[in-house]
Amino acid sequence: MQSLMTNLLVADSILIVIAVLMQPSKQQDALSALSGGATDLFGKTKSRGFEAFMEKVTVVLGVIFFVLALVLAYVSSH
């Protein structure tokens, strides 16, 4: 059981890295973080299409990662 959870955790970690690398770059956001970004305060738009899909995939994979980590910690301690 412990080795299965470890393998699932490693596979999920690899998928998280791939999902993060596939997300479109936000150079405008990075630039505004350095300059203060006050102009973007009220101009926030919702992401659509591929960007929204990749954000959802990343969130789901992150939740799965934490659940697997907690289950693995519980299985390891008992």
- Both tokens assigned to 46: 């919702």
On whether residue 51 sits in a domain, the answer given is: yes
pLDDT digits (tens, 9 = 90+) for 49-74: 888 899 999 999 999 999 999 999 99
Which range of residues forms the domain containing residue 70?
Answer: 2-25+46-77
Residue 35 within any structural domain of the chain: no
Q: Which residue has the tokens 């519980």?
A: 74
pTM of the model: 0.71
**Does 40 reside within a domain?**
no
Confirm whether 71 is domain-assigned.
yes
Is there a domain that residue 37 lies in?
no
Q: Give the orientation angle of helix 2-22 with respect to helix 50-77, to 10 degrees.
A: 160
Distance, in Å, from the CA atom of 72 to the CA atom of 8, rounded to the nearest integer, reads 10
The total domain count for the chain is 1
Percent of the chain with pLDDT over 70: 72
At residue 20, the 3 state secondary structure works out as helix
13 falls within a domain: yes
Interval 9-37: pLDDT, tens:
999 999 999 999 998 876 665 566 666 65
Average pLDDT over all residues of the chain: 83
